[in-house]
């Protein structure tokens, strides 16, 4: 009798364990499916935004937000821009105040310079929003090196203000137009000036800590070196590696920097962050990548999403096996393009 009872108890415990495991797996699968659906909705919504279909874009963002209790700040902010561009001021301010009050967004300079939000400037709520974001900025920067932050803010604006116009300029004049060539010369001139300023900071002080200049400051330094020539990138590689080790620069940014540097050396990138546009098909493709089969493992280590999640924004499918077959042709094409560019230089 005792033996039968013990078997019954063990059976019940086994069934309970199986149920718990099943419930856990089901929960994980549900979360993964929900996350995939969220990413797909955001991807499709962003695509509609780029097509200037702002009303339908906003609808997809709303559907996505219902699936996620912790919507990233960037998605909230993008939604506010989409609503502003659609003419819906109330919803634009709704999400802007969430980013400012709940998520403590502090990028005041971005706020006041974002052309997507111009339609909001005449609304009385605009000044209230500015005050909240400025207060967040002042609280975050209470112990910053304010003089250095001011210099970096100016550099950041000079770096991003022109690059934010690239898409609209290409749509207006065409990628290979004389106007775009002149526009890129303007960008390169600003890059040269910014590199002189940043080099002075790095040569005299090393890589400043995040406690002194904040995330925005470290991103500014990174962007300038990311846009610099190979000589400067090689020079500051040790500083950048130390900044990552000291938690003064995100691993994601290092991955982008290192991939670009490897490609400049004529080697393959390792994290798959660098893409190019096919002039004929006008579609993006992944530049030469080492060991594509295991790229997602390396991306995960650097805090990046998967290759497929990254390519979703262009509605592309990642197939590592297929890429391996295509890679020789991609490398031959890049070698030819680099040879032409070197001759033109």
- By C-alpha distance, which of 200, 203, 216, 105 is closest to 150? 216
Predicted confidence at residue 122, as pLDDT, reads 96
Predicted confidence at residue 19, as pLDDT, reads 52
- pLDDT > 90 fraction of the chain, expressed in percent and rounded: 63
Range with lowest mean pLDDT among 30-44, 103-117, 124-138, 295-309? 30-44
Range with lowest mean pLDDT among 20-24, 101-105, 253-257? 20-24
- By C-alpha distance, which of 265, 270, 268 is closest to 233? 265
Q: Is the dihedral of CA 343, 170, 227, 45 positive or negative?
A: negative
The percent helix, strand, coil of the chain (3-state, each to 5) is: 75, 0, 20
Residues in CB range of 261: below 8 A, 6 or more apart? 230, 233, 234, 237
Predicted confidence at residue 28, as pLDDT, reads 41
Predicted confidence at residue 337, as pLDDT, reads 79
Predicted confidence at residue 12, as pLDDT, reads 56
Mean pLDDT across 53-70: 93
Average confidence score pLDDT of the chain: 88
Per residue in 102-159, pLDDT (tens digit) is: 999 998 988 998 989 999 999 999 999 999 999 998 898 888 999 999 999 999 988 9
Residues in CB range of 273: below 8 A, 6 or more apart? 255, 256, 259, 260, 304, 310
Angle subtended at Cα 34 by Cα 29 and Cα 36, rounded to the nearest 5 degrees: 95
Mean pLDDT across 30-59: 84
Q: What's the token pair of residue 36? A: 């995939």
Predicted confidence at residue 29, as pLDDT, reads 46
How many other C-beta atoms lie within 10 A of the C-beta of residue 167? 10
Q: How far apart are the first and last CA of the chain?
A: 91
Predicted confidence at residue 70, as pLDDT, reads 86
Residue holding tokens 């950048």? Answer: 240
Residue 157: burial class (beta carbons within 10 Å; 0-12, 13-18, 19+): middle
Predicted confidence at residue 167, as pLDDT, reads 81
- By C-alpha distance, which of 144, 280, 112 is closest to 214? 144
- By C-alpha distance, which of 110, 119, 130, 127 is closest to 83? 119
Per residue in 144-195, pLDDT (tens digit) is: 999 999 999 999 988 988 888 888 888 888 888 899 999 999 999 999 999 9
Bridge partners of 269?
Answer: 289
Predicted confidence at residue 277, as pLDDT, reads 86
Predicted confidence at residue 26, as pLDDT, reads 45
Mean pLDDT across 204-209: 95
Bridge partners of 286?
Answer: 275
Angle subtended at Cα 33 by Cα 29 and Cα 34, rounded to the nearest 5 degrees: 115
Is the pLDDT at 32 greater than 90, yes or no? no
Mean pLDDT across 52-59: 95
Cβ contact 169:205 at 8 Å: no
Predicted confidence at residue 11, as pLDDT, reads 52
Beta strands (DSSP E) in 189-292 are 275-277, 284-286
Predicted confidence at residue 279, as pLDDT, reads 78
Predicted confidence at residue 169, as pLDDT, reads 87
Mean pLDDT across 70-79: 92
Decide the pairing of beta strands 284-286 and 275-277.
Answer: antiparallel
Range with lowest mean pLDDT among 111-115, 118-122, 286-290, 318-322? 111-115
CA distance 153 to 165: 19
Predicted confidence at residue 163, as pLDDT, reads 87
- pLDDT > 70 fraction of the chain, expressed in percent and rounded: 88
């Amino acid at each position: 009798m005792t033996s039968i009872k013990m078997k019954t108890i063990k059976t019940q415990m086994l069934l309970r364990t199986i149920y718990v495991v099943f419930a856990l797996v089901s929960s994980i699968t549900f979360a993964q499916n929900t996350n995939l659906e969220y990413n797909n909705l955001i991807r499709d919504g962003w695509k509609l935004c780029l097509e200037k279909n702002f009303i339908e874009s906003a609808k997809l963002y709303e559907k996505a937000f219902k699936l996620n209790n912790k919507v990233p700040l960037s998605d909230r902010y993008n939604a506010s821009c989409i609503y502003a561009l659609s003419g819906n001021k109330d919803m634009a301010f709704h999400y802007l105040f969430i980013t400012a009050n709940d998520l403590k967004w502090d990028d005041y300079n971005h706020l006041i310079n974002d052309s997507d939000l111009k339609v909001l400037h005449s609304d009385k709520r605009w000044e209230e929003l500015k005050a909240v974001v400025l207060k967040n900025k002042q609280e975050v920067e209470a112990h910053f090196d304010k003089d250095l932050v001011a210099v970096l803010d100016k550099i950041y604006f000079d770096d991003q203000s022109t690059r934010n116009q690239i898409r609209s300029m290409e749509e207006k004049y065409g990628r290979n137009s004389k106007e775009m060539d002149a526009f890129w010369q303007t960008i390169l001139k600003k890059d040269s000036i910014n590199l002189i300023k940043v080099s002075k900071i790095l040569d005299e002080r090393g890589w400043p800590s995040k406690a002194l200049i904040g995330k925005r400051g470290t991103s500014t330094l990174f962007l300038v070196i990311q846009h610099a020539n190979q000589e400067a990138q090689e020079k500051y590689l040790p500083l950048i590696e130390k900044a990552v080790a000291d938690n003064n620069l995100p691993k994601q940014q290092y991955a982008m920097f290192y991939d670009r540097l490897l490609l400049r050396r004529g080697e393959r990138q390792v994290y798959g962050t660098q893409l190019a546009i096919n002039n004929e098909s006008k579609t993006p493709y992944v530049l030469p990548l080492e060991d594509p089969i295991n790229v997602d493992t390396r991306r995960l280590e650097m805090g990046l999403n998967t290759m497929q999640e990254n390519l979703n924004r262009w509605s592309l499918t990642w197939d590592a096996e297929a890429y391996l077959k295509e890679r020789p042709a991609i490398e031959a094409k890049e070698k030819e393009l680099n040879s032409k560019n070197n001759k033109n230089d």
